[in-house]
Every structure is written in structure tokens, then in C-alpha cells.
Amino acid sequence: MKTSHIATAAACAACARAQELPMVNSEDLQALINLDELVSGSQQLQDFAYAYPERNRVFGGQGHNDTVNFLAEVLEQTGYYDVTIQPFVELYSGGSSSLSINGQAYNNSLLTYTPDGSANASIVAVNNLGCEAADFPPEVADSIALISRGDCTFAVKSTNAAAAGALGAIIYNNVEGELAGTLGGLGDYVASVGTDLATGEALLAALQNGTELIGELEVDSVLENRTTYNVIAETKGGDHNNVLALGAHTDSVEAGPGINDDGSGTIGILNVAIGLTNFTVTNAVRFCFWSAEEFGLLGSTYYVSQLNETAEELAKVRAYLNFDMIASPNYAYLIYDGDGSAFNLTGPSGSAEIEALFEDYYTSVGKTYNATAFDGRSDYGPFLDVGIASGGIFTGAEVPKTEEGQDIWGGLEDLAYDENYHAVGDNIFNLALDAFWLNTKLIAHGVATYAQSFDSLPQPTSMTKRSAHLAKVKRQAYNGAHGSHGHHHCNSKDEDKTR
Ligand SMILES: [Zn+2]
């Protein structure tokens, strides 16, 4: 009894203090966003990655677990938030591979979900694109199959190679650049690696000249269930039946520390959360730090599935804002196309108003913006699927900037918005600090606006299951026509990871 008495007294002291705080407003919350804090927060995340040999923050790894604990501790210490660490379990795929041919080492990377394998055998070229069993000549048995990318998924090619008795498969790109892909899940595959177009063409030419190629292929695949964690921090104050949710993902890919993708969104929303503790709010604000986005939006999908178990919990979330990559080095100011005016993928009711809020913000600070497809390829996807008004911004990934883009935002034409996207160079030295600072102030503006009032959003209508389903089908059709399969993130992803 005594402890509960003390707890009650402490809670009331917090209440009294909250009542003395001023109501949040955009200008004052923005004024608390400090560039030094954004940089030191990013440095902290990078230090977590570089403290371990993997030098990344892949979900379930040590660099990622340190990130999760850091966020939970910082938010808990404010005393302003109820912090929940939400565990869930997902299949992790990683590991390493090596390939040498006639004693010479070749560039390669394992395909996600490949099995282990070890082969020291002849390399045999497959006919056509390896999409049919008949494409595999009998000599493929007990050999390493050499297959071009194209037409069908990597999974189909690897399955056909396994069925033909191959010991391994080398799939080479059909366009310039590395081939980094996924088999899309577990299956009856052979040990499979990807390599670049030049390597594939050189090997094919050697075979056609009658040169015998002996390959040594080693694939050390790690396939394991890993427990990982979302961090959810909700203001103690405010109306918990009318909640603004916002989120960023805390995990990186294997290749690097993930400081723009999505350390920038993580540290951006964290700093807004810290600034918000100086104010009181009308509506509760829920800061969501998602895990395992890079393996297919797994953390946000799990969270929404849990929320979706009771209709009341879902109805409490009035809007969701997503921030995935807000400081790309060769940036653009892109807003999710919630009204469907640019990409014809309209979000749930309220999404158009959120897009307009961010448009007005950029206009007010003299910046030009453009739209980016509202295709559900980051953590807002699961929120779209259940009909929650959503929005967000994005500064661009691997797509090259156009001449028009250079005219608008400066930077370099023909260079990717983020040339370090999903690569080792996605580190603190490659952040655009001006975009980082401005976009974090934009987040503060969004939080202040909706923490005060949802009056600018339409009244929530319970989106019918059918209309949510139809919108999802339309997004899937769009994604099918524009590469990638919903899995593997990042809004303007042109490259398809499964084929
Ligand atoms: Zn991302």
C-alpha cells in the first residue's frame, strides 16, 4: 500500500508540473531544434555500429540493440513519456560468401535467404535466363550454374539450379552495378550469389572460347530467428483517444551504419520528442521507433497487427507521420503524395491535408518541394492498409537527380540523391546538415500542429475493409509496375530486389 501511495503522489506531482507548461506551438518547438544535437545523436548511432565488427545496426545485432536501449533510456529519463519496449521475433538472413575462379577472386554477394554451400567445381553456363527447367543442360549437375538476371525471380533461377543438381549458382547482373538481391524467403535453393554484369560477361566469353573454369564458391549463410524491439513512447499528457503517431526506423542494412537511412529520421523525431517535454499537449503524441524495416517493414507491420486486434485502439490513432531518410547528401524536398495528384495513389481520408501541411511549411520557409509516390514502401504502409491518415517526407535514395532537380535544390545532376544508400558510406560525414535541420523543424511543426488540434483533418470515417483493400491492390499494382515487391523499402526504389 505504501509504495502505491508514493507512486500516486509522484504521478500527481508530474500532473501539476504538466499543467504549468505552456501549450505547444510550432514556432517555440521549432526553436528548440538544435543542429549540434542532431549531429551528436547521429554520432551516437554511428558509434553503436562501429563498436562491433559488423559495423552496422541490423535488427537483432548488437549495434541495433544498443540503439534500442539508448532510445528507451533517453525517453524514459524525461519522465514525460510512457515508454514501451515491444519485442517480436523475425527470421534474420545474413552471412558471407567468397568466389574465386581459376584461382582469381571475384566480386560477389550472397542472396538473402540463400542456404549454406561449398563447391569446388566446373562453371557451366545456363541457356536463356534459367527460368525454365529445360534451360539447364545435364552438365549443370555437380557443377556451378552461371545464370543471367532477368525475366523471372532469383528464387525461380536458384530453385531450377537446385533441381538440376547444381552445387551452387552465380547470378550476374543484366545492367551495370552490383547485384544485391533476395530470394524472398525460405525455399529449396542451391547456395546462390550475385555478381556484376562485367564479371558475368567475362566468364561467359571464356566458356564460349572453350576455357575451362573451375570455381570455388563458399557461402556461409546465417538464418536464424531473432528477437528484436520497437520502442514506443507516448506523452503522459494529452487526449489518449485522439493520438498523433509518428515514426522512423532504427535498423540499418548489413552494408553500413545507416546514418541517413534511417538514423536521420530516428534522431530527428527523438529531438522533437525531447523538445516537446517543455510543453503541454491537447492530443497525446506517440513516437514510434521501428525495428526491422529493412527486412520488409516488419516492426511497423507487427505493431499495426497488434493494434488492429481491437477496433478501439486503431480508432484512437488519428494520423501517422513517417520520416525515413531526411538528410540525403544530394537531397530533394519530397512529400508523400497523399492526395494522389502526382502518382494517383491516394491515401486514406486526411492524407491530402497532411501533405498540404508539409507543402505549406516548405513554402513558408521559401523552399520548393515535389511529390514522391505514396506507395507504402516504408513504415507508413501498414498504417495505410488499415485506413489511418498518413504523410511524411523523404530526401531521396538511389535514383539520380535530374537537371530540373538540380535547378530546384542544387547539388549534382545525374548523381543519386544518396549515393551511399544501403552502402558502407551511409555515415555521419555524408549527411546534408541543412536539410537535416530544416526537416527536423518541419517534424516539429507537424507535431505542434496536431498535438494542439486535429481540426484541420477531416472527421475520421471508418474506412470500409473493402476500400482499404482496393487501395492496397492499387498500390501493389503500382509497385509491380515500378519494381520491388513491397518488401525492402524506400519510396522511390526502382531496383527490384527479388528479380
Ligand atoms: Zn529506410
Q: What is the CATH number of the domain that holds 57?
A: 3.40.630.10
Nine cell digits for residue 58: 541490423
How far, in Å, from the CA of 451 to the mean position of ligand 1? 25
Q: Which of 189, 222, 255 is the last residue of a domain?
A: 222
Q: Which of 199, 222, 245 is the last residue of a domain?
A: 222
In terms of domains, do 466 and 379 share one?
A: yes
Residue in 213, 191, 193, 190 with CA at minimum distance from that of residue 203: 213
Residue 218 bears catalytic tag = no
Nine cell digits for residue 299: 516492426
How far, in Å, from the CA of 351 to the mean position of ligand 1? 21
Helices (H), 280-343: 298-307, 311-316
In terms of domains, do 61 and 174 share one?
A: no
How far, in Å, from the CA of 129 to the mean position of ligand 1? 31
How far, in Å, from the CA of 109 to the mean position of ligand 1? 21
In terms of domains, do 188 and 127 share one?
A: yes
In terms of domains, do 182 and 287 share one?
A: no
Task: Assign residue 105 the CATH number of its domain.
Answer: 3.50.30.30
Separation CA 249–CA 293 (nearest Å) = 6
How far, in Å, from the CA of 349 to the mean position of ligand 1? 25
Establish if 381 belongs to a structural domain: yes
Q: Is the pLDDT of residue 469 over 80?
A: no
Q: Which domain holds residue 188?
A: 95-222
| Interacting residues of 187 by C-beta distance below 8 A, sequence separation 6+ | 113, 155, 158, 159
**pLDDT averaged over the chain?**
91
Mean pLDDT of all residues in 284-308: 95
Q: Is the pLDDT of residue 468 over 90?
A: no
Mean pLDDT of all residues in 158-174: 98
How far, in Å, from the CA of 243 to the mean position of ligand 1? 24
Establish if 243 belongs to a structural domain: yes
The count of C-alpha atoms lying within 13 angstroms of the C-alpha of 377, restricted to the half-sphere facing its C-beta, is 31
In terms of domains, do 47 and 120 share one?
A: no
Establish if 187 belongs to a structural domain: yes
Establish if 464 belongs to a structural domain: yes
For residue 429, give the DSSP letter. Answer: G
| Interacting residues of 332 by C-beta distance below 8 A, sequence separation 6+ | 370, 395, 396, 401, 405, 408, 409, 417
Establish if 119 belongs to a structural domain: yes
In terms of domains, do 117 and 61 share one?
A: no
In terms of domains, do 118 and 248 share one?
A: no
How far, in Å, from the CA of 378 to the mean position of ligand 1? 7
Buried b (16+ CB within 10 A) or exposed e, 234-269: bbbbbeeebbbbbbbbbbbbbbbbbbbbbbbbbbbb
Establish if 12 belongs to a structural domain: no
pLDDT band at 273 (very low <50, low <70, confident <90, very high): very high
Q: Is the pLDDT of residue 3 over 60?
A: no
In terms of domains, do 341 and 390 share one?
A: yes
In terms of Cβ atoms closer than 10 Å to its own Cβ (0-12, 13-18, 19+), residue 472 is: middle
Out of 90, 234, 293, 398, the active site residue is 293
- Do residues 281 and 451 touch, judged by C-beta distance below 8 A? yes
Establish if 380 belongs to a structural domain: yes
In terms of domains, do 33 and 118 share one?
A: no
Separation CA 34–CA 271 (nearest Å) = 8
Separation CA 39–CA 47 (nearest Å) = 12
Q: Which of 164, 196, 222 is the last residue of a domain?
A: 222
Q: Is the pLDDT of residue 485 over 60?
A: no
- Do residues 363 and 377 touch, judged by C-beta distance below 8 A? no
How far, in Å, from the CA of 249 to the mean position of ligand 1? 7
pLDDT band at 476 (very low <50, low <70, confident <90, very high): confident
In terms of domains, do 296 and 432 share one?
A: yes
- Do residues 58 and 251 touch, judged by C-beta distance below 8 A? yes
Establish if 3 belongs to a structural domain: no
- Do residues 486 and 381 touch, judged by C-beta distance below 8 A? yes
What pLDDT, on the 0 to 100 scale, is given for residue 495?
A: 41
**Higher pLDDT, residue 189 or 4:** 189
Q: Rg of the chain over CA atoms, in angstroms? A: 24
How far, in Å, from the CA of 258 to the mean position of ligand 1? 8
Our count of domains for the chain comes to 2
| Interacting residues of 15 by C-beta distance below 8 A, sequence separation 6+ | none
How far, in Å, from the CA of 326 to the mean position of ligand 1? 10
In terms of domains, do 113 and 213 share one?
A: yes
Rounded (10°) angle between helices 35-50 and 265-276: 130
Separation CA 407–CA 426 (nearest Å) = 25
In terms of domains, do 59 and 157 share one?
A: no
